C-alpha cells in the first residue's frame, strides 16, 4: 500500500465525490457521504487542518478505496 498522504477534509470529500459518493447530510462537523451503487456510507470530520493519518486510513478502508484516489 502506498504511503498515506496528508489531506484536509475538503480534499477528502472531493476525492470521494469523484469516486461516486454523494453528500447526504451533515450533523455538526461531520459530513456523511453515501455511494448509491452499493450503499457504502462514510463519515468525514470537517475539522480545520489536515486529517490525522489514521482517520484517512479508516475512511479509505470503509470506502474500499486506495490512496491512489488523491493522484
pLDDT digits (tens, 9 = 90+) for 19-46: 999 999 999 999 999 999 999 999 999 9
Whole-model pTM: value is 0.92
- Kindly tell me if the per-residue pLDDT of 66 is higher than 90: yes
Total tally of structural domains belonging to the chain: 1
- Kindly tell me if the per-residue pLDDT of 1 is higher than 60: no
- Residue 59: inside a domain, yes or no? yes
Cα–Cα dist 22/44, whole Å? 12
- Residue 70: inside a domain, yes or no? no
Cα–Cα dist 22/9, whole Å? 15
- Residue 3: inside a domain, yes or no? no
Helices marked H in the chain: 9-18, 53-63
Cα–Cα dist 37/58, whole Å? 20
Residue 18 structural domain = 9-65
- Residue 71: inside a domain, yes or no? no
- Residue 1: inside a domain, yes or no? no
CATH number at residue 47: 3.30.920.30
Residue 42 neighbours by CB under 8 Å, 6+ apart? 16, 21, 32, 33, 34, 59, 62, 63
- Residue 29: inside a domain, yes or no? yes
Amino acid at each position: 500500500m502506498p504511503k498515506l498522504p496528508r489531506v484536509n477534509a475538503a480534499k477528502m470529500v472531493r476525492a470521494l465525490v469523484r469516486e461516486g459518493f454523494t453528500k447526504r447530510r451533515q450533523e455538526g462537523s461531520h459530513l456523511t457521504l453515501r455511494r448509491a451503487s452499493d450503499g457504502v456510507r462514510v463519515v468525514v470530520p470537517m475539522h480545520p487542518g489536515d486529517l490525522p493519518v489514521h482517520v484517512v486510513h479508516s475512511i479509505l478502508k470503509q470506502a474500499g478505496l486506495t490512496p491512489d484516489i488523491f493522484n
